[in-house]
Structure 1
Amino acid sequence: MKFNASIKNQFCYGIDAVIMNPSKMKDSLIVIFAIVILTIFSGCSKQEINREVNGLEVKRPNILLIVADDMGYTDIGAFGGEIDTPNIDMLASSGLSFSNFHTAPMCAVTRAMLLSGNDNHIAGMGSQDLNSQAFGYEGHLTDRIVPLPALLQKAGYHTSMVGKWHLGTAPDHLPANKGFAQSFIIPEGVANHYSDKGWLARDPVSTYLENNEPVKWKEGDYSTDVYTSKIIEYIDNNKDSDKPFFAFAAYTSPHWPLQVDEAYWKKYEGKYRDGYEVLRQNRFTSLKKLGLIAESAELPDTHESVKPWSTLSADEKLIEERKMELYAGMVDNLDVNIGRIVDYLKQTNQFENTLIVFMSDNGAAANDFYYHPYFAEFLNANYTDAYAEMGKKDSFISYGPQWAEAGSAPFRYFKGYTTQGGITSPMLISGAMVKHKGTVTKTFTSLLDIAPTFYEYAQIDYPESFLGKEVYPLKGASMASLLEQKADFLHDANYVFAMEHRHNIVVRKGDWKLVNETKPFDPQNFALYNLAEDAGEQNNLKGEYPLVYQDMLAHWQTYKLESQVQFPTPSGVSK
């Protein structure tokens, strides 16, 4: 008689529930049945089904997924940054760092892929913030996939999340209906860090929900601090329940508006006096020293929207310095809060059996909506950009493409693009099951590989159908063998990764990359790069390698058909 791990696990938890509640055993037949089942599943413990790692049986781990919002590739110390991030760096030194990890170019799109293990169109987020009846553009997680927390919850995990949801606002689309037992979230993608003051005329007050019910934000409380306290509370609620946990900390930091307490940004006062071009070069040099990029790597050309530092006035330079000081303070505060979670896990003896994943959702953000024609009227009337108020709850500041380029070094461009600067993020994985300690892997990985990894450690077989409906298979692969030093790479040279968002496309196969960054969409604008030799995407090779180019175009067509890619227009989507 053979049972898969998830079925066996449900039996174990069911038997535990009966034994822990003797009053529910109303007659001897139930007792006899329980004894028989316990005999069959004598390997069941209260908390887990064991799996074998390096010859030893280990528990199903707790899983902690931490996602920073719009954090640049080089912002943390472990990836060449000057910002003080000892707690995040500790995860790097105690685990495996991924220097070739790929996200989607925008927040909601990444979240859809992350929580589904599938393409953003199949998951329902073909275009961020576009809600449509068309396949792939529904604006919420669809029934074509199984939400990651739903499957973990079904397998006996206690599931919780805090922070940014950004995957639909209707009741059926919120976390409580996607597998999270507990949640404290902002449904939308942007929020004031100190209050519920909105940033759009149509939503002048931001909504916060706890377990799908509206709650009031306490004025003056800081977002990252609140979300950390909540996720610790949720984990603590579960610590005596004999269930492993899955906790998703989806922070809104360091996403604009740049707001943080003075105690954090003051640490960086004067550090950015030399400007964004110098910071970009310094971080690029640090990456080489750390071995994260090749010695032969070169910085790509600067985005056309970036003004040279030397052309700014003295007052403009002061404002620019303060922007980066605030941003650094937000990353610093984020690190402190991650330290709070780690300390809690250690104090409660849960740290050793917790798989921790830290990542950013996309490249650094260049947006500056305070001056954008569509947003400016509301923002100018309700916020200020005055120098003396920068960083406070009524200020609305972004750091723009100039600092985003420094955060995206050594790559080209930033959030919104499918160039490397928009879709390459640092990822760190730590935990007792991770045999690497302080090492870096350059093997290609993506968002699609995270769900399969969690499923393997949770001993879950991904189903062919869910809630009576057929679902698409996972697109990634488990990283367990890589983490446990049983493999040196994850995907071979024939593996194809592809995605599209708002006319921006990427197709990866080995070292080759096909990319489009031009609107309106026209395949004639596709460019071909060899990232092993040109990580900055400066040398378009489609004319020199026509066979490779045709092969990559064929993969694009295959992907386009499978994912039913369409293209957004002001009135909806079109083929």
Structure 2
Amino acid sequence: MHRRPSRMKRYLQRPKRVGVVWGLLALFVSSGAYAAPDKQPNIIVIVADDLGWADVSYHGSPIPTPNIDRLVRGGVELDQHYVAPMCTPTRAALLSGRYWSRFGNTSPSNTQVFPTGTLTLAGALRSRGYETGISGKWHLGSLPKWGPKKFGFDRSHGSLAGGVGPWNHAYKRGEYTRTWHRNDVLLTEEGHVTDLIAAESVGFITSPRKGPFFLYVPFTAVHHPLDEPPEWLRRGRQADPKRPQYAASAMHMDDAVGQIVKSLETAGQRDNTLIVFFSDNGGTINPADGDNARYPGGYPENEPLGLNEPLRGRKTQVYEGGIRTPAFVNWAGRLKPGKVHSPLHVVDWMPTLCKLAGHESASDLKWDGRDIWPIVSGETTTPKSRVLYWQGVGRRSAALRQGNWKLIVHRKKAGDELELFDLEEDPGEKQDLSAAQSQRVAKLKQLLADETTRDNDAVPQP
């Protein structure tokens, strides 16, 4: 078994009250009032793919991630940042402010996810004068007719589908194999996928413009299949001999993050740029489970992938290891370093970033998320109580969190199986309390049923 990093346990030592913010946080250097900044910030959202909780060095990993660590030290670490248990759902939630199941989505999807005309985060920011761009993995509709430019992006580049071969940029064999594109037009491009995403992002940042920009960088790293350049693979072997390709991929991505930050400094935009980082779901843990064979090119099957220790579970599961991922926000000119322990969710970013950019919608966007800037900025350390909701992959599971209590439902042919955890006392989800807390289970089941009734209200029409 892979050795657990020695510093890992301290990241699960919970404060006695959810919502306590540790560290000195402030939105404004000169003012504690929460108001939109005088100058609209540039916004960069960086999303890693399948990065495990235990696979960043600031969580004790042997894999060095110095650029990510530097941004965490200078920013606000988000200790309980939740996402979906798989890729497409998280991306849908980020760009809509809504739970993925509202769109009928619970799994990776190559068909259209958003109904035509959906106002996304990119579209909302564009209405406020932002130039919007994406470089990386879209996976919200894998044909050009469903691409990013149809949903608010001025410029687009990368994979319309999911993870791709690092050098041939091909998705799994089938209708969507050819997926690499620029501006929703398929193209052939040479180079390693991480380098291409980094170069496109740097080019976007340094392009001449008069107004602010929004850049979405959904890396394909560290998603399989993996095939790192020799120099990165050499470093990967030194960092983690049992997972050399995975370690190399994580280090390579970290270097790309460093290039993005350096380009902001070169362009004189570092202090006016808000950077958000998180992984789209927890680490895969097991080897690629035969999935590598579905990609053209030929890739080994036996190398283990991500680690989520000491959290329980993995990608595809609604245990903490599948839905709680490394995350932070950094704004060098505005935010002071600190750490937030409050539960936050990927659906919160659209309401939050729209508020910062001064966007107010004329219609009800039915957001499930809320503006979390008062929490992130430290204006409040006692956020309002809330319910968080997850539909699992294929609706085979679901979860709901209220306060420190988390209910998990596993849907089986013989009937539902329930688990209840007190995340304050048991963040590793080792002790099921459902039998001893029947009234609490009943209450959370009703809240879960209420959330479920709101699903499928925005399913794309064929």
Return the TM-score normalized by structure 2.
0.86
Are residues 529 and 518 of structure 1, via their aligned partners in 2, closer, same or farther at CA, if it must alter by over 3 Å? same
User: In 1, distance between residues paired with 2:318 and 2:212?
Assistant: 36
Q: Are residue 80 (structure 1) and residue 48 (structure 2) matched?
A: no
SS of 2:206 mapped into structure 1:
helix
Flag structure 1 segments of 5+ consecutive residues without an equivalent. 1-49, 132-138, 274-320, 385-394, 465-470, 566-575
SS of 2:342 mapped into structure 1:
coil
Q: Are residue 128 (structure 1) and residue 108 (structure 2) matched?
A: yes
SS of 1:425 mapped into structure 2:
coil
Q: Are residue 510 (structure 1) and residue 403 (structure 2) matched?
A: yes
**Could you say which residue in structure 2 is the equivalent of 1:328?**
247
Higher relative contact order (CA 8 A, sep 6+): 2
Within 5 A, what are the aligned runs for 1:95-244? 95-129=75-109, 139-142=112-115, 145-203=118-176, 205-218=177-190, 221-237=191-207, 239=208, 241-244=209-212
Q: Are residue 360 (structure 1) and residue 332 (structure 2) matched?
A: no
How many residues align structurally? 426
Alpha carbons 2:103, 2:114 under 8 Å: kept: yes
**Could you say which residue in structure 1 is the equivalent of 2:24?**
none
1:477-533 Cα distance to aligned partner (Å, 9 max, x none): 22221232211144x33x11112132121101000001134545833x021111111
Amino acid in structure 2 at the alignment position of 1:226: L
CA RMSD of aligned residues (A): 2.5
**Could you say which residue in structure 1 is the equivalent of 2:257?**
338
1:343-388 Cα distance to aligned partner (Å, 9 max, x none): 110011101000000110000014645636xx75x56xx544xxxx
- Of residues 456, 459, 472 in structure 1, which corresponds to 2:355? 456
Alpha carbons 1:506, 1:515 under 8 Å: kept: yes
Post-superposition offset of 1:201: 4.7
Q: Which has the higher helix share?
A: 1
**Could you say which residue in structure 2 is the equivalent of 1:480?**
373
Amino acid in structure 1 at the alignment position of 2:232: Y
**Could you say which residue in structure 2 is the equivalent of 1:555?**
447
Alpha carbons 2:159, 2:169 under 8 Å: kept: no
Alpha carbons 2:44, 2:216 under 8 Å: kept: yes
Within 5 A, what are the aligned runs for 1:320-469? 321=242, 324-366=243-285, 368-369=287-288, 371=290, 376=293, 383-384=297-298, 395-397=299-301, 399-400=303-304, 403-404=305-306, 407-432=307-332, 434-437=334-337, 439-464=338-363
**Could you say which residue in structure 1 is the equivalent of 2:46?**
66
**Which structure is larger by alpha-carbon Rg, 1 or 2?**
1
**Could you say which residue in structure 2 is the equivalent of 1:387?**
none
User: Is the deviation greater in 478-487 or in 506-515?
Assistant: 478-487
**Could you say which residue in structure 2 is the equivalent of 1:263?**
231
Percent identical among aligned pairs is 26
SS of 2:211 mapped into structure 1:
coil
**Could you say which residue in structure 1 is the equivalent of 2:21?**
none
**Could you say which residue in structure 2 is the equivalent of 1:254?**
222
Post-superposition offset of 1:425: 0.6
SS of 1:418 mapped into structure 2:
coil
Alpha carbons 1:366, 1:399 under 8 Å: kept: no
Amino acid in structure 1 at the alignment position of 2:447: H
SS of 2:76 mapped into structure 1:
strand
Are residues 552 and 329 of structure 1, via their aligned partners in 2, closer, same or farther at CA, if it must alter by over 3 Å? same
Post-superposition offset of 1:130: 7.4
Alpha carbons 1:224, 1:337 under 8 Å: kept: yes
**Could you say which residue in structure 2 is the equivalent of 1:9?**
none
